[in-house]
């Protein structure tokens, strides 16, 4: 079979700066000045260099440039997120921040495995990346990256270390919890249950604390019995609702620690004939489209704005790389409320298939 590319032995060399110099009839240093816009050069000469470079499809070799400048124009993003649910929006945000530079962001996936993470770091350092951003599946403190503090700027996004010199960007989970509580109270709800994830997650403690602030600032009673902590799953949401209602708790709202839990809660409420939002309003957390939009009714939920978190991480890393920015500590970025139907908003449900055919296939 004919190969789709030439094997190494016969692969032609890419165009070099020498080819451009020959084609433009100038010296190597004139080509360099022309392409980099440096030094003294007549406009006519500069144009000749640029046209020759374009004609020959000359691609400046970043590798060689990197070596000269001691930079690779590459940022490594280390992820531990097997599903990409958190890391892909963060990656997109970082790329957005670096768009105007010539820098690339490369994601490598450590999948929560310390050995793989170490290998990835070795490889990134050997490639002389300009900076590393570490992200995670949860915001709790993790061991700092095993990178000498002096070799390369590192920051943590949606991930946290207990090193006070490190810079960590995290969602403001307390603010997110408060936002959910305030929205429910503004909608007239007076007794808000909280069904959430495992207690050992910092995010679980923070979201609960935020809800408590909203409840107490509105002079409503805070009831410990209405807070239930369990696994991050729909099944837990269903179980917890059954337990709450079996205990005959007179709740009129539930704030759930994740959209998955909220979906289970909404399903269990419907199974018992409790109307959402009329009898019980529900707010989730994550704004995970695939879950939130498909729940019946669709979930009002808190968005952690991970794209913006990634963008901020990119901008701050760029500052560190350029030696402009000397930040450390934990920075919390605001969450926002996304309104759908589960809380009493009046947005109509989208018809399912306006622009799709319903005909058979075979």
Which residue, 303, 250, 256, is CA-closest to 283? 256
Neighbours of 83 (CB within 10 A): 8
Q: Measured between alpha carbons, how far is 178 from 176 in angstroms, rounded to an integer?
A: 5
Alpha-carbon separation of residue 346 from 150, 180, 219, 277, 343 (angstroms)? 55, 17, 28, 11, 9
- Give yes or no for residue 83 binding a copy of itself (CB under 8 A): yes
Kindly tell me which of 41 and 128 has the beta carbon lying closer to a copy of itself.
128
- Give yes or no for residue 132 binding a copy of itself (CB under 8 A): no
Q: Which of residues 16-55 bind a copy of itself (CB under 8 A)?
A: none
- Give yes or no for residue 309 binding a copy of itself (CB under 8 A): no
Backbone angles phi, psi at 37, to 5 degrees: 65, 30
Q: What is the DSSP letter of 233?
A: S
SS3 of residue 309 by DSSP = helix
- Binding a copy of itself (rule: CB under 8 A), the pick from 6, 44, 246, 278 is 6
The residues, any chain, with a CB within 8 Å of residue 195's CB and separated by 6 or more, are: 228, 230, 236, 237, 240, 241, 244, 254, 255, 256, 257, 261, 265
Which single residue is written with the structure tokens 């691609």? 59
Site stretch for a copy of itself (CB under 8 A), options 107-115, 170-178, 245-253, 273-281: 107-115
- Give yes or no for residue 157 binding a copy of itself (CB under 8 A): no
Site stretch for a copy of itself (CB under 8 A), options 39-47, 180-188, 227-235, 274-282: 227-235
- Binding a copy of itself (rule: CB under 8 A), the pick from 30, 74, 287, 312 is 74
CB of 148 to a copy of itself, least distance (A): 8
- Give yes or no for residue 262 binding a copy of itself (CB under 8 A): no
- Give yes or no for residue 115 binding a copy of itself (CB under 8 A): no
CB of 106 to a copy of itself, least distance (A): 3
Site stretch for a copy of itself (CB under 8 A), options 245-253, 274-282, 308-316, 323-331: 323-331
């Amino acid at each position: 079979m004919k190969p789709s590319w030439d094997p190494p032995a016969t692969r032609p060399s890419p165009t070099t700066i020498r080819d451009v110099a020959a084609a433009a009839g100038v010296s190597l240093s004139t080509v360099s000045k022309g392409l980099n816009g440096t030094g003294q050069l007549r406009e006519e000469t500069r144009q000749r260099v640029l046209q020759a470079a374009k004609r020959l499809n000359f691609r400046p070799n970043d590798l060689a440039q990197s070596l000269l400048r001691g930079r690779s124009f590459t940022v490594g993003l280390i992820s531990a997120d097997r599903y990409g649910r958190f890391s892909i929006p963060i990656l997109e945000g970082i790329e957005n921040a670096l768009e105007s530079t010539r820098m690339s962001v490369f994601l490598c996936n450590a999948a929560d495995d310390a050995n793989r993470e170490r290998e990835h770091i070795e490889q990134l350092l050997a490639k002389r990346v300009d900076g590393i951003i570490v992200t995670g599946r949860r915001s709790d403190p993790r061991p700092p990256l095993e990178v000498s503090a002096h070799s390369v700027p590192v920051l943590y996004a949606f991930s946290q270390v207990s090193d006070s010199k490190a810079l960590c960007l995290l969602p403001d989970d307390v603010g997110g919890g408060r936002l959910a509580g305030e929205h429910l109270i503004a909608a007239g709800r007076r007794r808000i249950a909280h069904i959430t994830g495992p207690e050992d997650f910092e995010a679980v403690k923070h979201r609960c604390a935020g809800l408590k602030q909203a409840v107490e600032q509105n002079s409503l009673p805070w009831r410990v019995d209405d807070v239930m902590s369990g696994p991050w799953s729909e099944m837990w949401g269903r179980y917890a609702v059954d337990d709450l209602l079996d205990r005959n708790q007179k709740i009129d709202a539930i704030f759930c620690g994740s959209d998955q839990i909220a979906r289970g809660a909404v399903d269990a409420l419907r199974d018992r004939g409790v109307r959402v939002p009329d009898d019980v309003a529900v707010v989730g957390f994550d704004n995970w489209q695939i879950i939130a939009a498909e729940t019946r009714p669709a979930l009002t939920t808190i968005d952690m704005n991970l794209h913006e978190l990634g963008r901020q991480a990119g901008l701050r890393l760029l500052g560190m790389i350029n030696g402009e920015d000397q930040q450390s500590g934990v920075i919390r970025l605001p969450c926002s409320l996304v309104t759908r139907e589960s809380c009493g908003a009046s947005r109509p449900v989208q018809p399912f298939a306006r622009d799709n055919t319903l005909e058979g296939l075979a």
